[in-house]
Structure formats: structure tokens, C-alpha cells
Amino acid sequence: MDSTIAAISTAMSPSGIGIVRMSGKDSMEVISRVYRSKGGKKDIRKAPDHTIHYGYIYDGGECIDEVLVMIMKSPKTYTGEDTVEIDCHGGVLAMKRVLETVLKNGAVVAEPGEFTKRAFLNGRLDLSQAEAVMDVIQSKNEFALKNSMNQLKGSVHRAIQDIRGEILYQIAYIESALDDPEHISLEGYPQELQKIVDNLLKKIQKLLETASDGKMIREGIRTVILGKPNAGKSSLLNVLLGENRAIVTDIAGTTRDILEEYIHFHGLTLQMIDTAGIRNTEDVVEKIGVGKARDIAKDADLILYVADSSSPLDENDEEIISMIRDKKTIVLYNKTDLAPCLDMEELKRVTEKPVLPISALEETGIDELEEMIRDMFFAGHISFNDEVYITSARHQEALSQAFESLKLVKRSIEDGMPEDFYSIDLMSAYESLGKILGEAVGEDLVNEIFSRFCMGK
């Protein structure tokens, strides 16, 4: 934290502009050594806060680039420290030369995520907001971006602080009553605390229930395409992608391995996984592919079961129907361009799943499929005004730990345990929730979180 860090904060590729960022107590000294105004007389160290200056970056007597320099003085900066941003030309060589020049004059190379790490350590962001910064950068769809921005603005912070505030009040009340029983009575308090704990459990449970949707918002809906050979699985994938990504032939068993692609529509992301056709086979390679398909289907968020309407159900379809019994599934009654040999009503009856007629060849029914997927997962809309979605596995784990601690409080009340038992488990819940905000977390965890950030952020 005593050093002044520097990094290139834009992509290392030819572009209109490149940004080299510095942060630290010596930022103003470093920039004064390398910057010259157009007239050559301005001392940039005396420049007013939050101003932009036109000039040049010099390495000794050599002019490196024509730049704009932004001066931002602590504490009103992203990191809470003096910060300088140099807007140079976006050529890879130009950015590297500007960075090399500031490093030669007193700065050190920033680690991945170190600017945001300093913002966290300086109290500008809590840990949930810092993690949201990276989620904003890595957002794969509109909903992920909106949710990450809400977390950056403090949606998770406010929800957790509300629960922690209530827990802390109860801890303080118990401790005060135990220290001063003459003036603070605990008579009838266990019954009152039980109502409060029940309410806190409901709040945490509500947050935990958003984790599955939150994971899909962030990473995409893991969608597995299942069907027997030649049902039209690969043709469906190609239609959804809008390109011939999967090989399509009349030969059964063409798809032998797993093919993954991402598809974006209506602000959502689908992680589409095309699999080998489900059937009993003696082909060693195809058998491996079929085994992979069965394993991947177990972890799917959504299964698209492609049924061939031009052929009757057989033992392969029966196996697939057993696989999808407890999974979110849309059954696609494919090849509606051909004469049907399979009754759609029978398919509905045996699968007990929604059935949608489509033709992957003629590209019909695809819009209806997209709407059905959206409605199935999000009831047609997601509201980010009041709803908080938990997208981090780390947050989910901390909430689960707090939930279990509060259940222990409830059990202690029901068993008639002394009040100091309540305080122990209440404090455990309080500390578990604090991990989400960055309180009571070890240095190793902080370093591990920020190591996943990109350079310059």
C-alpha cells in the first residue's frame, strides 16, 4: 500500500485510445517527472483536483506520445488514493512505452485487480461490491449486467447489513442483560427472540432461493440437448446459433463428443451442449460419447429433449424419458415437415412435460422455444428494483453458514438453554454474514479473489 502502482487499463490491441493508470501517494511526483505541457511551463503537481491536461509524455529527452492527463486527488477517487490516468494513443507499442516510462520514474507494476483491492482496503467498496466490479466486466448478457450493477451499487450490501444489524442488536441486548440483570430483564425474551430469528431465517432463505437463478443469470442456463440418433439435435443447435457449427448427416451416431456453444437472446445466455444420440451401441468411441451425454444431463439446468415425430418411440426414447423425469425439460416435437408417426398427445402423456412442435430444417417454432425458455425460468421478467440475486458461490456458502447458526439459536430456545448460548450462535451468524462484506476474512482469501481480476482494474 506504500507503493505507487501503474498498469495499462485498456485492452492490449490497436485502438483509438489507451489508458495507463497510476494510484498511490507518489502518483503526482511520478507524473511530474514524465509530463510536459504544450508550453512546457505548467507544474502538473499544482493542478486543481479532477482536471484534464493536454501535453506530452517524455522519457528523458525523448517525446513518447501526445496525451491527455487526468488528475484525481484523494480521497475522492476509485482507490481512495491520488490517481493519475494517462490517455495516450491506443497502439500497443505506445501504451507499453508510456507504462515503461512511468515505471522508470518511480511506479511499480500493479498486480491483477490491485486498483480494486486498494479501493476495498481503503473502505471505498466492500468485498461484495468489489466482486461485482469483475462481474460487470465479465457480464455475458443484459440481466447479468443489470444484476452486477445493482450489486456494485450496494444491493447485496444493504440486504446483508439489514440482517446483521438486527443480529447485532440482539447480541448487545443479551450481553447487556447478563451484565446488568437488575435493570434489564430477560423474562419472556426467548419467545420474543424466537420470532425475530424466524424472521431472519426467512430473509436468508429468500436470498438463498435466488442463488440458482443468480448462477444462471451470471453464467448462463446450462442447456443440454438430448435425443436418440438422427432426431435433429445438431440441426437444432445450428439453427439456434445461426451457423453450421455441428456436423449434420443422415448417418446415425455422427455426434460422438460434447459440443458447447453460448447463445444470447432476450437478454439471457444459454450454455448450449449438444450430445451424442442416446442409444445402445457397440462402437467404442460412440459409447464414450453416450456415457458423457448421460453424465452431463444430470447437471443440466434445462434439457431440450428432441423427439423425432417421423418415427415411433422406442427403447432409446424410453431411456431419455426416464432421465428427464425430475429435470426442467422442454420436449421438442421435431420434423413437423415430415409425415408424423408419433402422436404429440401421446408424447405429452408419457413425458409429462411441455411439448412444442418445431422443424429444425424449416426453422419453425424457434421463436416460441425462446419465449418458453424465458417464461420457464423467469416467469417472463426479472425485476431488479427490489430483488437481490445471489450470484456468488462464496456468498451462498456464507449465507448457508449463517442460516445454520440461526437454526442453532432456535434449537437452544426450544431446549430452554441459558441466554449466553443464544449469543454464541448469534455471533457466529453475524461473522458468517460479515465474510460477504469483507469483514473477518483472511488475507489469503482477499488475495485469491482479486487475483481473478484483469490487469489494470
pLDDT number for residue 194: 92
What value does the mean pLDDT take over residues 148-165? 87
Q: How confident is the model at residue 245 (pLDDT cuts 50, 70, 90)?
A: low
pLDDT-above-70 percentage for the chain:
87
| Pick from 106, 124, 128: nearest CA to 115 | 124
pLDDT at 427 over 90: yes
Most confident range, picked from 240-254, 284-298, 333-347, 399-413: 399-413
Residues 83-127: tens digit of each pLDDT: 999 999 988 899 999 999 999 999 999 998 899 999 998 989 888
What value does the mean pLDDT take over residues 298-307? 82
Residues in the chain: 457
> 242 and 370 in contact (C-beta within 8 Å)?
no
Distance (Å, whole) CA 422 – CA 170: 9
Q: CB-based contacts of 190: which residues, under 8 Å, 6+ apart?
A: 413, 416, 419, 422
What is the sign, positive or negative, of the torsion defined by CA atoms of 240, 242, 245, 249? positive
What value does the mean pLDDT take over residues 322-330? 83
| Pick from 229, 223, 226: nearest CA to 286 | 229
pLDDT at 238 over 50: yes
pLDDT number for residue 237: 81
Q: CB-based contacts of 146: which residues, under 8 Å, 6+ apart?
A: 382, 384
Distance (Å, whole) CA 208 – CA 200: 12
Domains present along the chain, CATH in parentheses: 5-110 (3.30.1360.120), 131-210+390-451 (1.20.120.430), 222-378 (3.40.50.300)
What's at 349, amino acid-wise? R
pLDDT at 409 over 60: yes
Determine which of 98-102, 132-136, 239-243 has the lowest per-residue pLDDT on average. 239-243
Which H or E element spans position 109?
strand 108-109
| Pick from 171, 178, 165: nearest CA to 193 | 171
What's at 444, amino acid-wise? D
Residue 77 vs residues 43, 82, 453: alpha-carbon distances, Å:
21, 7, 19
Residues 3-40: tens digit of each pLDDT: 999 999 988 888 889 999 999 999 999 999 999 998 77
Residue 6 vs residues 36, 47, 255, 419, 447: alpha-carbon distances, Å:
19, 20, 49, 53, 18
pLDDT number for residue 184: 80
Distance (Å, whole) CA 332 – CA 227: 10
Whole-model pTM over 0.85: no
Distance (Å, whole) CA 77 – CA 284: 61
pLDDT number for residue 255: 45
pLDDT-above-90 percentage for the chain:
33
Summary mean pLDDT of the chain:
83
Residues 195-218: tens digit of each pLDDT: 999 999 999 998 888 777 676 677
Residues 256-296: tens digit of each pLDDT: 456 777 777 666 777 788 776 665 555 556 566 666 777 77
pLDDT at 76 over 90: yes
Assign 3-state DSSP to the chain and report helix, strand, coil percentages, each to 5: 45, 15, 35
Burial tier of 327 (Cβ tally within 10 Å: 0-12, 13-18, 19+): middle
